[in-house]
């Protein structure tokens, strides 16, 4: 399950080009049988994701890629609120024994040094506190590359999504290994 915002939902792309669909295809190509469901909602914040967590992540879900926070940063939401919402999501998923891969986000640099510092620490701090798998920046290698983003400069093209899938794959494989280890214990 990918619980996220427009970056997961596939804003501006056909459904089969969205991150969860492309990730599922890449896993199949590696011989890994995994169903990757898309619980991305365009415009969602961390608080919005928390509000819809229970119906977005159904019983039987074994792993979640948590990709929220971009809209919080773009809107200048207080990083304390973003952290509290993400932490509540993580706690609830952990309580349900769902493995979590936390996809980090970085604040736009034009938000000012204080905001950037307060926001950017959220993801590594949560990962450390809850022993989560961390992919430090979901848009690594894609952000600010006009060839990999739609004209809005914020949302990846299909090629940008493919780059994200390639970059995050080692962490996804680590997540799958955790799920398999939990099944075996």
Positions annotated as catalytic residues are 6, 152, 155
Q: What is the Cα–Cα distance from 128 to 96, expressed in whole angstroms? A: 19
DSSP letter at 109 equals G
Closest CA to 134 of 183, 107, 108, 170: 170
Q: What is the dihedral of CA 39, 42, 47, 53, to 10 degrees?
A: -20
Closest CA to 149 of 169, 168, 163: 163
> For residue 131, what are the contacts with CB-CB under 8 A and spacing of at least 6?
none
* Cα 108 to the center of its chain, rounded Å: 17
SS3 state of residue 134: strand
């Amino acid at each position: 399950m990918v619980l996220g915002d427009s970056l997961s939902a596939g804003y501006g792309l056909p459904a089969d080009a969205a991150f969860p669909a492309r990730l599922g295809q890449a896993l199949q190509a590696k011989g890994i049988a995994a169903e990757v469901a898309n619980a991305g909602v365009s415009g969602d914040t961390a608080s919005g994701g928390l509000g819809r967590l229970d119906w977005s992540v159904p019983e039987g879900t074994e792993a979640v890629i948590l990709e929220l926070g971009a809209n919080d940063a773009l809107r200048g939401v207080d990083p304390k609120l973003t952290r509290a919402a993400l932490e509540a999501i993580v706690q609830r998923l952990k309580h349900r024994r769902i493995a979590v891969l936390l996809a980090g986000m970085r604040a736009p640099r034009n938000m000012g040094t204080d905001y950037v510092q307060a926001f950017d620490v959220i993801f590594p701090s949560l990962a450390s506190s809850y022993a989560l798998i961390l992919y430090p920046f979901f848009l690594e290698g894609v952000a600010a590359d006009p060839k990999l983003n739609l004209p809005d400069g914020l949302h990846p093209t299909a090629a940008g999504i493919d780059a994200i899938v390639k970059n995050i794959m080692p962490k996804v494989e680590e997540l799958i290994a955790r799920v398999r280890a939990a099944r075996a214990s």
